[in-house]
């Protein structure tokens, strides 16, 4: 069996790859592994369970709740809430475990299960591995040790979670949003209720799109992966800015009043300066991945902010932040982590803080985002090559060195083997788009020649 847990929990096509039986079994396994690790010692365990609005989340939630309760875990069912809300409530309620059912920005047929440890943090890899092995062991026949009578878990709906999460968001907001008109694209997803409520309570005039989830329309032509609707709505309503979330609202992208996109790098740049101004940017450092635009790095250098870069993936950003106590990190995709107030990326919090900076500064988002210039970036995927030899091919190293000499200090080259496919990603940045395309094309040819 291949590894079930990826970088963001277990994910697949609901009722095909991810079945009710698997959801139930993984939940029972998680309860047993955490009990074995001493997490439940001395008290009756509690779990927080939430989901996004996908139709499949209804039966998968039922399976997860049944599995946990059958293993003696009391369950607080918080219903449809964003992933960061479930993480927050897991910590705020002192729960031993959190479970979120979502496939984030994936299409509606997919779904996923993500577990949070006590405090709302992602489970360590060794615990995930142990859950997987225990699940597999019992799936093939070994009986579970099951409680009976009063030992079984009790289940109740925890509707207070909605207001608790909104109150948390407002508590950490440094400035109200009075006077701003903001378009929110909720991707027909998990934040369709809480995000507009939070922005309204913060004082903004809110226009919502993509906020009518029916279980089937999540991420369908809207949200952070399809920005045209929010761009059009901002222009139509004369809004100051627009915010777009993905299906589970752990991401946030934005558009300014002209309809121009403001990506995750620009959002990080704006928030880094705002946080430094109020002495909240510890060590004057921001964490991003190697895929961040070179313009972001140059802007941070110019502003005297230190940039730490990690491998691609929000989990690596979070690991670096937790290890060194940094307060801000994220990815170009809009996955932004403000570690003092969230244990994972929180799209609603990110959008609120971005809007608060606009309100507090009296400057437009377009003006604020201009702190960095996005250099043209060209990405070419080169398929059917031996990606394991990227770092060992002398011919490829020579081609990269030649490209870097040509680009100088105003350009950058990155060759990255895909984590899931037999291909190599060639990324080139340059001040001039034609030069970026030319260099990327030559490097792609060099990859084919050296590794094909």
Options 56, 102, 104, 333, the catalytic residue? 104
Strand, coil or helix: 187: coil
**d(Cα 131, Cα 111) in Å, to the nearest integer?**
19
| Residues linked to residue 378 through DSSP beta bridges, in sequence order | 428
Is the separation of the CB atoms in 180 and 360 below 8 Å? no
246 is in an annotated binding site: yes
Cβ-in-10-Å burial (0-12, 13-18, 19+) of 437 comes to: middle
State how far the Cα of 256 lies from the Cα of 259, in Å rounded to an integer.
Answer: 5
104 catalytic? Reply is: yes
Query: Is 185 among the annotated ligand-binding positions?
Result: no
Concatenating the DSSP letter of every residue in 12-81 gives EEBTTTB-HHHHHHHHHHHHHHHHHTTTTTTS--EEEEEE-S-HHHHHHHHHHHHHHHHTT-EEEEEEE-
Q: Is 104 annotated as a binding residue?
A: yes
Q: Compute φ and ψ for 185, nearest 5 degrees.
A: -105, 110
Long-range contacts, 133-137 (Cβ 8 Å, 24+): 134/29, 134/32, 134/33, 135/4, 135/22, 135/25, 135/26, 135/28, 135/29, 136/1
Question: Which residues sit in the known binding site for Mg(2+)?
Answer: 104, 246, 248, 250
Residue stretches of the annotated binding site: 104, 246, 248, 250
The residues annotated with a catalytic role in the active site are 104
């Amino acid at each position: 069996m291949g590894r079930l847990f990826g970088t963001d929990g277990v994910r697949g096509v609901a009722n095909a790859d991810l079945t009710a039986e698997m959801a139930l079994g993984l939940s029972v396994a998680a309860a047993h592994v955490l009990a074995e690790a001493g997490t439940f010692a001395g008290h009756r365990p509690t779990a927080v369970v939430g989901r996004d609005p996908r139709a499949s989340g209804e039966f998968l939630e039922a399976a997860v709740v049944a599995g946990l309760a059958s293993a003696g875990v009391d369950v607080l069912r918080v219903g449809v809430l964003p992933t960061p809300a479930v993480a927050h409530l897991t910590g705020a309620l002192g729960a031993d475990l959190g479970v979120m059912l979502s496939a984030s920005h994936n299409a509606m047929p997919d779904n996923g299960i993500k577990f949070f440890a006590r405090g709302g943090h992602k489970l360590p890899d060794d615990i995930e591995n142990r859950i997987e092995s225990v699940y597999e062991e019992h799936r093939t026949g070994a009986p579970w040790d099951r409680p009976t009578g009063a030992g079984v878990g009790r289940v109740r709906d925890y509707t207070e979670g909605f207001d608790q999460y909104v109150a948390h968001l407002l508590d950490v907001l440094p400035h109200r949003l009075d006077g701003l008109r903001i378009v929110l694209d909720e991707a027909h997803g998990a934040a369709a209720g809480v995000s507009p409520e939070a922005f309204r309570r913060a004082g903004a005039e809110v226009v919502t799109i993509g906020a009518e989830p029916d279980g089937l329309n999540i991420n369908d032509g809207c949200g952070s992966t399809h920005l045209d609707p929010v761009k059009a709505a901002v222009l139509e309503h004369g809004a100051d800015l627009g915010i777009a979330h993905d299906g589970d609202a752990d991401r946030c992208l934005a558009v300014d009043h002209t309809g121009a996109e403001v990506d995750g790098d620009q959002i990080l740049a704006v928030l880094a300066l705002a946080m430094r101004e109020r002495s909240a940017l510890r060590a004057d450092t921001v964490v991003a991945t190697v895929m961040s635009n070179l313009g972001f790095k140059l802007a941070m250098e110019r502003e005297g902010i230190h940039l730490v870069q990690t491998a691609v993936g929000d989990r690596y950003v979070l690991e670096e932040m937790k290890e060194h106590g940094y307060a801000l990190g994220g990815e170009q995709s809009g996955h932004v982590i403000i570690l003092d107030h969230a244990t994972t990326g929180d799209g609603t919090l990110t959008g609120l803080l971005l809007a608060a900076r606009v309100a507090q500064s009296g400057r437009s988002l377009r003006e604020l985002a201009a702190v960095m210039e996005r250099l043209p970036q060209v990405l070419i995927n080169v398929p059917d090559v031996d990606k394991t030899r990227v770092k060992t091919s002398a011919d490829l190293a020579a081609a990269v060195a030649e490209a870097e000499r040509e680009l100088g200090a105003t350009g950058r080259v990155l060759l990255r083997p895909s984590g899931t496919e037999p291909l190599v990603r060639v990324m080139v940045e340059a001040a001039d788009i034609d030069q970026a395309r030319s260099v990327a094309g030559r490097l792609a040819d060099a990859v084919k020649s050296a590794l094909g």
